Amino acid sequence: MGYPDTFEGFAVESADKWTEPKYREYKPRPFEERDVDIEVQACGVCGSDVHTVTSGWGECPYPLVVGHEIVGIVKRVGDKCETGLKVGQRVGVGAQAWACLSCRQCKADNEVYCPQMRDTYGAKYPDGSITQGGYASHVRVHEYFVFPIPDVLETTAVAPMLCAGATAFSPLYRNGCGPGKRVGIVGIGGIGHFGLLFAKALGAEVFAISRSDKKKEDAFKLGADGFIATEKKGWNEEYSMTFDLIVNCANSSENFDLAAYMSLLDVNGRFINVGLPEGDGFKIEPFKMIGNGAVFGFSHIASRPEILKMLDIAAEKGVKSWVETLPVGEKGCGEALKRCHDNDVRYRFTLTDYDKAFPKK
Ligand SMILES: [Zn+2]
Ligand SMILES: [Zn+2]
């Protein structure tokens, strides 16, 4: 058996063996009329993959193939597809695989906030099957969540844009990042490095905000105009009420002095969180936070129009992700998950060599 009846992938089998994914064959869910099958060529390794396979975000439906920064080639297009995808076309898939497309949120191009949204991996379909991600030979996804990739963008560099890039781009784009605005990016990791790249591409003055000076040089190479290290006491005073927007990409809320970050914002400035740290979350201190009337909020991945816009801007402005590659396989996936967990990557892994791992396809 092989494609189209069987997909192959590298699945994590339990929380205590999350660094040892195993080769597995599995049946994809039934093909529906607006589905697309994609032969995977590359997949980024997201922090979400780690939070999921370790059960850090809650129970994980093992065995699970993760991966939601997928680039590949269209193999099959459902009869009722409307978005014009063609067999042989290079496309990307991010963290979302389905939404109802008829609710209030979906109709307003907020399908990413659809109450029925399904994730690319680990989500249950009505037939009982669980979605599987891109550490695999193929993925099956509703066409609305499949995005044509502009020719100039390299496969390995564009893969991490599908989740990390989109996650950074949406709050910037929605909250007015552009010329004349001062924007801060907190946490220079997978998502944060895209925050710097896209804030710059959108024309803002951008500051990297990091715990220590360790990533200062990288931040400037990524396009930052300024750098703030938060380890010194009183670090925020010099910049008080001078920012229009701050996007918090940090993956930890431990010892996070939220009031100090909020104090950087000008009146009605916005502090938007995209990270989902495990643990108790943020401390809201009204007396310390009322002084600038700033807004505290959240943002989750990105909508289809935003992802298409991001890819256009990346192509037009030559936005280039910093990626390290590893061959997809039991060893490569395990190493990528472990090193992603340890923040030992600059700034994203992309899994490659799919032809070698899945010769049967
Ligand atoms: Zn992700
Ligand atoms: Zn909906």
On whether residue 115 sits in a domain, the answer given is yes
pLDDT of 107 reads 98
> How many angstroms does the Cα of residue 340 sit away from the middle of ligand 2?
32
> How many angstroms does the Cα of residue 125 sit away from the middle of ligand 2?
15
Asked if the model's pLDDT at residue 345 lies above 70, the reply is yes
Q: Are residues 283 and 353 in the same domain?
A: no
On whether residue 202 sits in a domain, the answer given is yes
Q: Are residues 210 and 146 in the same domain?
A: no
Nearest C-alpha neighbor of 208 from the set 223, 122, 198: 223
Measured from the alpha carbon of residue 122, the closest ligand is 1
Asked if the model's pLDDT at residue 253 lies above 90, the reply is no
> How many angstroms does the Cα of residue 111 sit away from the middle of ligand 2?
6
Ramachandran category for residue 343: left, alpha or beta (phi over 0 → left; psi -120 to 50 → alpha): left
Structure tokens given for 265: 């914002």
> How many angstroms does the Cα of residue 226 sit away from the middle of ligand 2?
40
Q: Work out the pLDDT band at 235, boundaries 50, 70, 90.
A: very high
| Torsion angle of the four alpha carbons 64, 194, 254, 276, in this order, in degrees rounded to the nearest 10 | -40
pLDDT of 126 reads 87
Q: Are residues 314 and 329 in the same domain?
A: yes
How confident is the model over 220-240, as a mean pLDDT?
A: 96
> How many angstroms does the Cα of residue 76 sit away from the middle of ligand 1?
25
Nearest C-alpha neighbor of 137 from the set 223, 205, 37: 37
On whether residue 64 sits in a domain, the answer given is yes
Asked if the model's pLDDT at residue 1 lies above 80, the reply is no
Going 88 to 92 to 98 to 101, the CA torsion angle's sign is negative
Q: Are residues 158 and 203 in the same domain?
A: no
Asked if the model's pLDDT at residue 203 lies above 70, the reply is yes
Measured from the alpha carbon of residue 189, the closest ligand is 1
> How many angstroms does the Cα of residue 104 sit away from the middle of ligand 2?
7
Asked if the model's pLDDT at residue 329 lies above 90, the reply is yes
Q: Largest Cα–Cα distance in the chain?
A: 65
On whether residue 1 sits in a domain, the answer given is no
Instruction: Identify residues whose C-beta is under 5 A from ligand 1, the ion.
Output: 46, 48, 95, 163
Q: Which of 298, 325, 345 is the last residue of a domain?
A: 298
Q: Work out the pLDDT band at 281, boundaries 50, 70, 90.
A: confident
> How many angstroms does the Cα of residue 109 sit away from the middle of ligand 2?
9
Range(s) of the domain holding residue 292: 167-298
pLDDT of 57 reads 86
How many domains does one find in the chain? Answer: 2
> How many angstroms does the Cα of residue 211 sit away from the middle of ligand 2?
39
Asked if the model's pLDDT at residue 127 lies above 80, the reply is yes
> How many angstroms does the Cα of residue 163 sit away from the middle of ligand 1?
5
Q: Which of 248, 268, 298 is the last residue of a domain?
A: 298
On whether residue 2 sits in a domain, the answer given is no
Structure tokens given for 314: 């990346």
pLDDT of 280 reads 79
| Alpha-carbon distances, residue 286 vs 262, 281, 293, 309, 338 (angstroms) | 11, 16, 10, 37, 39
Q: Are residues 15 and 138 in the same domain?
A: yes
Q: Which of 298, 316, 338 is the last residue of a domain?
A: 298
> How many angstroms does the Cα of residue 317 sit away from the middle of ligand 1?
23
Instruction: Identify residues whose C-beta is under 5 A from ligand 2, the ion.
Output: 99-100, 103, 106, 114
pLDDT of 361 reads 64
> How many angstroms does the Cα of residue 160 sit away from the middle of ligand 1?
8
pLDDT of 279 reads 76
> How many angstroms does the Cα of residue 144 sit away from the middle of ligand 2?
12
Q: Are residues 195 and 146 in the same domain?
A: no
Q: Are residues 175 and 307 in the same domain?
A: no
Measured from the alpha carbon of residue 101, the closest ligand is 2
pLDDT of 251 reads 80
> How many angstroms does the Cα of residue 98 sit away from the middle of ligand 2?
9
Q: Are residues 216 and 276 in the same domain?
A: yes
Q: Are residues 328 and 287 in the same domain?
A: no
> How many angstroms does the Cα of residue 101 sit away from the middle of ligand 2?
5
Asked if the model's pLDDT at residue 254 lies above 90, the reply is no
Q: Are residues 102 and 179 in the same domain?
A: no
- Give the range among 7-16, 38-47, 273-282, 336-345 with minimum mean pLDDT: 273-282
Q: Are residues 215 and 238 in the same domain?
A: yes
Write out pLDDT tens, residues 51-110: 999 998 888 999 999 999 999 999 999 999 999 999 999 999 999 999 999 999 999 999
Q: Work out the pLDDT band at 289, boundaries 50, 70, 90.
A: very high
On whether residue 207 sits in a domain, the answer given is yes
Q: Are residues 172 and 285 in the same domain?
A: yes
With a pLDDT cut of 70, the percent of the chain lying above it is 99
Average pLDDT over all residues of the chain: 95
CATH number of the domain encompassing residue 340:
3.90.180.10
CATH number of the domain encompassing residue 196:
3.40.50.720
On whether residue 120 sits in a domain, the answer given is yes
> How many angstroms does the Cα of residue 316 sit away from the middle of ligand 1?
24
How confident is the model over 250-259, as a mean pLDDT?
A: 86
On whether residue 80 sits in a domain, the answer given is yes
pLDDT of 85 reads 98
> How many angstroms does the Cα of residue 96 sit away from the middle of ligand 2?
12
Asked if the model's pLDDT at residue 121 lies above 90, the reply is yes
